[in-house]
């Protein structure tokens, strides 16, 4: 079964994605702002360092002491460097980390970048023919920026994840009334006057509850009317049918012998009408909800108004089904059997993998393989109209009402019908045997 979209799951993912996107966006903005400030701060530091160094060097009259002219490497990893470049672009003095060639090919004052390695600040030195460069490694800057970015992103992600978790829990709590409503609806029985949906716990659910309650009341009224109609219809139809049959029986006794075959045919037709009416009444009376019961097949078949058929029942356990509906189905199948020349019928019940299989075989005329295939195709798609009689159609509807299906298996002789029926839901425990 395809998993349907879940409001809770969808909202959870949406909240998580929003929290993450929001966190990342905030991180990006923070990172840009911090990077700008860090660059400014480092530039200021670079400028200040250059000015201090310029002052120190200028104090010596522009003459560099020899250690500075020939620097030795410092013990630590230097992140800053300086160069004093003369008029002929020769490096007059430099720190140990500074390259032996000028940092910039032409005298440059102020800030400049040297490839991806240095951030340089140039100051005019002495007579103006010399330039003092103070530089900071780009790696140092990148490291500072990366640390800031990483801290910001991690903080944003942590806040985003915590927010998402909190929102998810909150969402679950807010959707709890909807889940409770689902549970209430599953237990709601509109036909039971004691069954109530209960008061709404959220304003948004009020119209839903009101609509369901109204629907339930309409359904209950409709079912009550149909049941009342069914009871009246049963009386109004069954009694005249009994009268017709009885009058025909009297007439057959009193009539001249040559009229008896004709009356006998009329009586057989009345018998068929009786069976059809009984089946339709049973179908109609079954209503909207199946009345699952343990049905004694043999007992049920003896009560059906069918004469002239030898019925053999092969069932070791009761059938779990709605007795009215299964009566209607069996009546239709028996009626079909009679009309198609059957004298014997076998009804067998077996259980297999949680499915009840009811097989109906008669010794009547049967159908050709091509016709059987066409009937099976029509049954599968429920394209009944014009393709089959009332009997098979009603029987198929009964099987489907029980969560099963009907098909016509091949038969070497006669006609076979196979019904598969599901089992009652766990809440609908089977009642005492229907006899």
Partner 1 sequence: MRLLLLEDDALLGDGLREYLRAEGHVVDWFSTLRDVQAVQGEPYDAWLVDWQLPDGSGLHWLATRRAAGDRTPALMLTARDRLTDRVAGLDGGADDYLVKPFAPEELAARLRAVRRRGLGAGQERLQVGDVDLDLAAHAARVAGLRVDLTAREWALVEALALRAGRVVAKADLDRLVLGADAEVQSNALEVHVSSVRRKLGRELIETVRGLGYRLATEAAR
- The least distance separating partner 1 from the CB of residue 329, rounded to whole angstroms, comes to 16
Strand partners, 94: 83
**Distance set, CA 387 to CA 93, 376, 409 (Å):** 108, 10, 17
Residue 85 or 321 with smaller CB distance to partner 1:
321
Rounded Cα distance, 226 and 287, in Å: 8
**C-beta of 167 vs 297, nearer to partner 1:** 297
Nearest distance in Å: CB 420, partner 1: 26
210 vs 242, which CB is nearer to partner 1? 242
- DSSP 8-state assignment for residue 75: S
Give least dist CB 410 to partner 1, A: 36
Q: Which residues bind partner 1 (CB under 8 A)?
A: 231, 234-235, 237-247, 249-250, 253, 274, 278, 303, 305, 307, 323, 434-435
Q: In the numeric block, which tokens belong to residue 124?
A: 């005019």
Residue placing its CB nearer to partner 1 in the complex, 219 or 250:
250
Smallest gap from residue 422 Cβ to partner 1 (A): 23
Given the complex with partner 1, which of 241 and 374 has the nearer CB atom?
241
Sheet strand arrangement including 118-125: 91-94, 80-85, 130-137, 118-125, 110-114
CB of 239 to partner 1, least distance (A): 5
Distance in angstroms (rounded) separating the CA atoms of residues 256 and 118: 130
The distance of closest approach from Cβ of residue 284 to partner 1 in the complex, given in angstroms and rounded to an integer, is 13
Closest approach, Cβ 240 to partner 1, in A, equals 6
Answer for the pair 53, 134: CB distance below 8 angstroms, yes or no: yes
Q: Which is nearer to partner 1, 57 or 282 (CB)?
A: 282
For partner 1, the closer of residues 217 and 247 by Cβ is 247
Of 313, 303, 317, 287, which is closest to residue 421 (Cα–Cα)? 317
Give the tokens for residue 100. 């032996």
Angle between helices 390-401 and 323-339 (to 10 degrees): 150
Residue 136 or 274: which CB sits closer to partner 1?
274
Instruction: Give me the helices (H) in 61-105, please.
Output: 66-69
Q: Least distance from C-beta 392 to partner 1, angstroms? A: 24
Report the relative pairing of strands 415-421 and 431-434 from DSSP bridges: unpaired
Residue 341 sits at φ, ψ, to 5 deg, of: 80, 20
Q: How far is the CB of 376 from partner 1 (least distance, A)?
A: 33
Task: Identify which of residues 278 and 319 has a Cβ nearer to partner 1 in the complex.
Answer: 278
CA nearest neighbour of 281 among 317, 240, 229, 321:
229
Q: Smallest gap, in angstroms, from Cβ of residue 243 to partner 1?
A: 3
How far apart are alpha carbons 61 and 125 in whole angstroms? Answer: 11
Q: Over the range 344-365, which residues count as b (16 or more CB within 10 Å of their CB) and which as e? A: ebbbbbeeeeeebebbbbbbbe
Residue with tokens 């990893």: 77
Of the candidates 381, 370, 357, 355, the one whose C-alpha atom is nearest the C-alpha of residue 410 is 370
CA dist list (Å): 289 to 106, 179, 332, 401:
96, 24, 21, 9
Query: Which CB, 296 or 361, lies closer to partner 1?
Result: 296
To partner 1, the closest distance from the beta carbon of 220 in angstroms equals: 20
> By C-beta, is 22 or 284 nearer to partner 1?
284
Instruction: Answer whether 143's CB lies under 8 Å from 95's CB.
Output: no
Q: Pick between residue 102 and residue 271 the one whose CB is nearest to partner 1.
A: 271
Among the listed residues 389, 387, 362, the one whose alpha carbon sits nearest the alpha carbon of residue 377:
387
Distances (CA, A) of 94 to 55, 65, 138: 16, 11, 18
Task: Supply 68's token pair.
Answer: 């500075």
Considering the complex, what minimum distance in angstroms separates the CB of residue 323 from partner 1?
A: 8
């Amino acid at each position: 079964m395809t998993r349907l979209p879940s409001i809770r799951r969808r909202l959870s993912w949406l909240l998580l994605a929003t929290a993450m996107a929001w966190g990342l966006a905030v991180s990006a903005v923070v990172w840009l702002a911090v990077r700008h400030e860090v660059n400014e701060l480092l530039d200021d530091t670079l400028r200040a360092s250059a000015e201090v160094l310029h002052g120190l060097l200028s104090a010596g009259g522009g003459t560099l002491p020899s250690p500075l002219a020939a620097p030795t490497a410092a013990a630590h990893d230097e992140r800053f460097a300086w160069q004093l470049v003369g008029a002929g672009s020769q490096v007059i003095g430099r720190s140990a980390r500074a390259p032996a060639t000028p940092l910039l090919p032409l005298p440059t004052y102020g800030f400049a970048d040297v490839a991806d390695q240095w951030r340089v600040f140039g100051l005019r030195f002495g007579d103006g023919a010399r330039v003092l460069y103070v530089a900071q490694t780009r790696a140092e800057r990148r490291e500072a920026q990366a640390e800031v970015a990483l801290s910001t992103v991690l903080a944003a992600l942590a806040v985003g994840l915590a927010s998402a978790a909190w929102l998810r829990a909150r969402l679950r709590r807010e959707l709890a009334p909807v889940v409770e409503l689902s549970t209430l609806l599953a237990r709601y029985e509109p036909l039971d006057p004691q069954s109530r949906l209960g008061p709404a716990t959220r304003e948004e659910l009020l119209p839903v509850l009101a609509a369901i309650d109204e629907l339930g009341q309409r359904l209950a009224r409709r079912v009550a009317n149909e049941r009342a109609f069914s009871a009246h219809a049963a009386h109004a139809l069954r009694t005249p049918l009994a009268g017709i049959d009885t009058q025909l029986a009297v007439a057959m006794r009193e009539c001249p012998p040559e009229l008896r075959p004709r009356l006998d045919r009329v009586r057989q037709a009345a018998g068929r009408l009786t069976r059809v009416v009984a089946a339709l009444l049973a179908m109609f009376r079954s209503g909207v909800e199946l009345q699952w019961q343990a049905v004694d097949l043999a007992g049920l078949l003896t009560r059906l108004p069918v004469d002239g058929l030898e019925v053999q029942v092969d069932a070791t356990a009761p059938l779990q089904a709605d007795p009215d509906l299964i009566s209607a189905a069996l009546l239709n199948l028996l009626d079909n059997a009679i009309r198609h020349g059957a004298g014997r019928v076998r009804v067998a019940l077996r259980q297999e993998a949680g499915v009840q299989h009811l097989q109906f075989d008669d010794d009547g005329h049967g159908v050709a393989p091509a016709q059987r295939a066409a009937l099976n195709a029509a049954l599968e798609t429920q394209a009944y109209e014009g393709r089959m009689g009332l009997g098979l159609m009603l029987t198929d509807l009964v099987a489907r009402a029980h969560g099963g299906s009907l098909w016509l298996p091949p038969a070497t002789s006669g006609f076979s019908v196979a019904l598969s029926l599901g089992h009652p839901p766990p809440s609908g425990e089977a009642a005492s045997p229907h006899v």
